Structure 1
Amino acid sequence: MSAVGTSTAAYDLVHDGTAMLGRQLRRMRNNPGLLILTQTMPITMLLFFGYVFGSALAMPGEQYRSFLLPGLLVATAANGIMTGMFQAAQDTHRGVTDRLRTLPVSRAAVPLGQSVADVVVTAAGTVPLLLVGLAVGWRVEGSAAGAVTAVGLLLLFRFATTWVGIFLGLLTRNEEAAGQLGGATFILPLLSNAYIPAEGLPGWLRTVAEWNPISAVTTALRDLFGNAPVPQGAAWPVAHPVAGSLTWCALLLAVFVPLAVHRYAHGER
């Protein structure tokens, strides 16, 4: 492809992607109930887990809540699979995707707009969770640069998981099936170190937890925020959490962006 053709394709992607971003944001604004639920659920979990589970663990209450908050942030980011899947399946099921395919719109623009809008909403929803975390004892104990890096890594992970959900939603093509499958993703944070340290798990289960991408990102946030040290003797993604998180994000994007764009462009073919 010539430089002019590449430049034109990039311009079309940015222009059309911005339009699709606006569509997704308006769509979320018109469904405030779902938006409120997804934003308040992590706060509810922080308060419930922080005070109920915290009393049953060896860590003191505030220390456990500081340990828990990064895990909840990452578990919320992993919900990009569920939201991406449901929205893509809803558009497909209702014929919106077929109508968009008939328009002179860049084929990558629609899923790109959806994923970027999801990251914008996630970034806004992170603020109240962090404020509640501060109220219950969580603090940034590391550097400001580390905290900024942690937030950036969190949003990158959300961006990657949203692409996974978009592909699965285009694959299922059914709102009900996407809702049921999306609900099953709730188990993913439970098979990680998001809520409890993985060191105390049985051997095989600890291996599963440490190779779960959620564990790598959670450990990276705890380390960057200064809330907990990197555990010794862990699997590579957890022992090198920032590198492991970036590797997982790059792998998810490399696999699911082309799959989602191809599925959107060609439908069931």
Structure 2
Amino acid sequence: MTTTTPPTPSRPAIAAAPGLRDRRSNPLREGALIAGRDLLHWVREPWGFVFGLAFNLMLVLMFGFLFGGAIEVPGEGDYIAFLLPGMFALAMLFGLEATMTAMAEDSKRGITDRFRSLPIASASVALGRALADLANSVVGLAVLMIGGLLIGWRPTTGPAEIALGVVLLLWLRFALLWVGIFLGLRFRGTGATTAVQVLVWPIGFLSTVFVSAETMPGWLGVIAEWNPVSATATAARELFGNPTGVTSGWLAEYAVLAASVWPLVITLVFLPLAASAYRGLRR
């Protein structure tokens, strides 16, 4: 007489359940924890942030007091009042290479791979970096605004308009964060970081940050007007009650709309690209 032993349930069947980790995870909570880790690095090594902020303040002082007397604002108005909102927008762009460098370094040192091995959602790592960089940008923008107040810049509108102007500046920064995250995951070499640092300059200066597009040659003015940094700078000037340097054209009427739509388009393009680059990482 023989007996048959019932088959033992296969243990890998449990582990093979797709998406089990993600269903139990909380991307917002996990992203906040990872953001705390990134912020702790800034607290321990604050010099990159401090030097970046000092560089922006130096540009304000140089253009405001060294060149400002020779620059006229179309439609009249004080140049310092025109310059400061543009510098706020430019500061949102200048942080792009820092985000790229941080993501690239985490990837090269294997930190990103360690995160990938944990039972957390795939979006948590990039979201954590975005939250940390955004918090960094809030502090940097606050310091720049205080510095502007000390040298004579004044917003002349109400609290609601000023708050909306700040939100649009941070909205641009949030969109550009995904560009930096994607580039950091996709291109991890030193040469790529240097190339981005070089490219940020013409993008920032080929805008209405320092001068009005109406003072540029026709074709150059059109390019400057369609720059997302120009849209945010002009919208911030309008909402802060400062001279916009725009007397006619679509930017004079739709600056706030353009400053809302441009970052949305950038986010819709680069957030999926960043997610795809993260999923495509190999150990």
Aligned twin of 1:244: 258
Larger Rg: 2
Alpha carbons 2:186, 2:277 under 8 Å: kept: yes
- What fraction of aligned residue pairs are identical, expressed as a percent? 36
Alpha carbons 1:74, 1:217 under 8 Å: kept: yes
Aligned twin of 1:45: 59
Measure, in 2, the Cα distance between the counterparts of 1:154 and 1:116. 15
Aligned twin of 2:47: 33
Measure, in 2, the Cα distance between the counterparts of 1:229 and 1:27. 38
Alpha carbons 1:141, 1:226 under 8 Å: kept: yes
Alpha carbons 2:100, 2:182 under 8 Å: kept: yes
* CA deviation map 1:177-198 (0-9, x unaligned): 3144223212211100011111
Measure, in 2, the Cα distance between the counterparts of 1:150 and 1:14. 26
> Which of 118, 138, 146 matches 1:123?
138
Q: Which runs of 4+ in 1 moved over 3 A?
A: 8-11, 236-239
Alignment RMSD: 2.4
Aligned twin of 2:185: 170
- The AA in structure 1 aligned to 2:88 is L
- The AA in structure 2 aligned to 1:93 is K
Alignment length, in residue pairs? 263
Report how far residue 80 of structure 1 moved.
Answer: 3.2
* CA deviation map 1:117-155 (0-9, x unaligned): 111111111222112211211101112110000011111
Measure, in 2, the Cα distance between the counterparts of 1:9 and 1:174. 35
> Which of 93, 111, 119 matches 2:108?
93
Structure 1 residue 20 and structure 2 residue 34: aligned? yes
Report how far residue 30 of structure 1 moved.
Answer: 2.2
Cα distance change, pair 10–46 in 1 and its aligned pair in 2 (3 A): farther
Report how far residue 230 of structure 1 moved.
Answer: 6.9
Unaligned runs of 5+ in 1: none
Aligned twin of 1:258: 272
> Which of 233, 253, 267 matches 2:248?
233
Secondary structure at 2:155 match in 1:
coil
TM-score (normalizing by structure 2): 0.86
Cα distance change, pair 171–78 in 1 and its aligned pair in 2 (3 A): same
Structure 1 residue 83 and structure 2 residue 84: aligned? no
Measure, in 2, the Cα distance between the counterparts of 1:198 and 1:237. 10
Q: Which moved more, 1:132-141 or 1:216-225?
A: 132-141
Measure, in 2, the Cα distance between the counterparts of 1:237 and 1:268. 45
Alpha carbons 1:54, 1:64 under 8 Å: kept: yes
- The AA in structure 2 aligned to 1:133 is G
Alpha carbons 1:220, 1:241 under 8 Å: kept: yes
TM-score (normalizing by structure 1): 0.90
